[in-house]
């Protein structure tokens, strides 16, 4: 049995988690171990993520990709439990709301390892979303819930989470942005390579099961994006799962003038976000990134776990709009018509997130609660 009990285990399985945890992994340095569950199973996608996240080394890898939700959670819980029994750790850190997040939480609980949940207390109040169920469960079993905003802490208290388990830390995305923001030269090269003009294109991503596994919904979105592509350039970095469903349901022809490209590494994707006139996405992380870059966003979902971003200021514009059950063609057309004025309104607005390093605050709190023990040799 290896003596690993001085390490803090970071569990992740998807791109957004890797980006949100990169700062924490860097802060932990040699005191951290990283296990990747393989939830995003596209090798190409994953290798390119790690290339951009300097200092993030994966210690171990489990392959749960391409399975159903229940199988992913079960298999990852089993493997992570086995890992923790072989390599006891001081604490386990999970982030957000994926199946990997829940599996890491269950494995920590099963082995009596302190559990830290980064980005706790987010709620869409929509239990039909598997992500909502994952979040609620992990917050209930976490020993430390790190919330981005005090509103998230308030939500946890309403659910009976004790004060001593809650800490407002801010948003770890801000730490990652420093490492991931491409230089102006890199961004210019990327735009010319993709034949795009800065500030004159729409960037769209759709990957959530609730969006892409529903044939009718995916069809309506594809048709709406095609209609928008008649007015302006629309680019979609195509997630492997989305591509598969578009092919299965024969929607390829309906894309019209929409430009589909391969999934991009984080740095390139962020570079494209920063220069888009409008974003259309069902991603949670994109909601925050759009906010940081002050770019208008239409969230193509029924609900959001970040309601603070829907609040309007005196300009009448929110950080992002929620599609809900409105007509996608109408709403995308309206968002595009508003994009310029909307962007000007956002340029003036104060960010909802605190500016300090959330990653440093989280690691400091882990060290305070579960300190590093030096073994006598």
Catalytic residues: 207
Beta bridge partners of 322: 299
**Residue recorded with tokens 């951290």:** 32
Question: How far does the chain reach from its first CA to its final CA, in angstroms?
Answer: 16
The residue among 212, 148, 135 whose CA lies nearest residue 174 is 148
Around Cβ 284, how many Cβ atoms within 10 Å? 23
Listed in sequence order, the residues at least 6 apart from 277 whose beta carbon sits closer than 8 Å to its beta carbon are 199, 200, 201, 202, 232, 295, 296, 336, 339, 340, 343
Output phi, psi for 100, to 5 deg. Answer: -65, -35
**Strand runs (DSSP E) across the chain, as ranges?**
8-12, 32-36, 60-61, 91-95, 115-118, 144-147, 166-168, 201-205, 233-237, 259-261, 278-281, 297-299, 320-322
> 16 with 289: CB under 8 angstroms?
no
Among the listed residues 170, 145, 105, the one whose alpha carbon sits nearest the alpha carbon of residue 359:
170
In whole angstroms, give the CA distance from residue 344 to residue 172: 26
Extract the tokens encoding 233: 């350039």
Alpha-carbon dihedral 136, 137, 141, 147, rounded to 10 degrees: -30
| Cα separation, 146 vs 158, whole angstroms | 16
Number of Cβ within 10 Å of residue 215's Cβ equals 12
Q: How many CA atoms lie within 13 A of 266 on its CB side?
A: 26
Q: Whole-angstrom Cα distance, residue 115 to residue 105?
A: 6
């Amino acid at each position: 049995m290896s003596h690993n009990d001085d390490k803090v285990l970071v569990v992740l399985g998807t791109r957004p988690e890797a980006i949100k945890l990169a700062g924490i992994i860097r802060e932990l340095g040699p005191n951290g171990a990283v296990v990747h569950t393989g939830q995003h199973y596209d090798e190409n996608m994953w290798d390119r993520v790690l290339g951009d996240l300097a200092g993030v080394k994966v210690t171990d890898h489990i392959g749960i990709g391409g399975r159903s939700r229940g199988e992913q959670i079960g298999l990852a819980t089993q493997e992570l439990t086995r890992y923790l029994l072989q390599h006891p750790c001081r604490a386990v850190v999970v982030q957000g709301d994926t199946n990997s997040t829940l599996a890491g939480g269950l494995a920590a609980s099963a082995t009596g390892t302190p559990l830290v949940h980064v980005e706790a207390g987010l709620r869409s109040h929509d239990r039909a979303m598997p992500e909502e169920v994952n979040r609620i469960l992990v917050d209930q079993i976490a020993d430390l819930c790190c919330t981005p905003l005090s509103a998230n802490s308030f939500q946890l208290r309403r659910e009976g989470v004790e004060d001593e388990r809650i800490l407002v830390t801010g948003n770890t995305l801000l730490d990652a942005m420093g490492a991931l923001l491409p230089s102006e030269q890199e961004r210019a090269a990327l735009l010319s390579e993709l034949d795009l003009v800065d500030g004159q294109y729409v960037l769209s991503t759709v990957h959530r099961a609730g969006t892409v596994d529903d044939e009718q919904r995916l069809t309506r979105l594809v048709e709406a994006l095609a209609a928008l592509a008649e007015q302006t350039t629309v680019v979609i970095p195509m997630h492997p799962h989305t591509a598969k469903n578009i092919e299965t349901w024969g929607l390829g022809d309906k894309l019209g003038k929409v430009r589909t490209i391969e999934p991009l590494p984080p740095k390139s994707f962020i570079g494209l976000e920063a220069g888009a006139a409008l974003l259309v996405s069902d991603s949670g992380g994109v909601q925050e990134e759009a906010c940081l870059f002050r770019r208008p966003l239409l969230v193509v979902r029924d609900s959001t776990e970040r309601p603070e971003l829907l609040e309007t200021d005196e300009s009448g514009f929110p950080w992002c709009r929620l599609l809900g059950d409105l007509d996608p063609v109408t709403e995308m057309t309206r968002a595009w018509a508003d994009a310029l004025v909307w962007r000007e309104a956002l340029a003036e607005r104060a960010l909802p997130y605190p500016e300090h390093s959330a990653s440093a605050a989280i690691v400091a709190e882990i060290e305070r609660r579960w300190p590093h023990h030096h073994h006598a040799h």
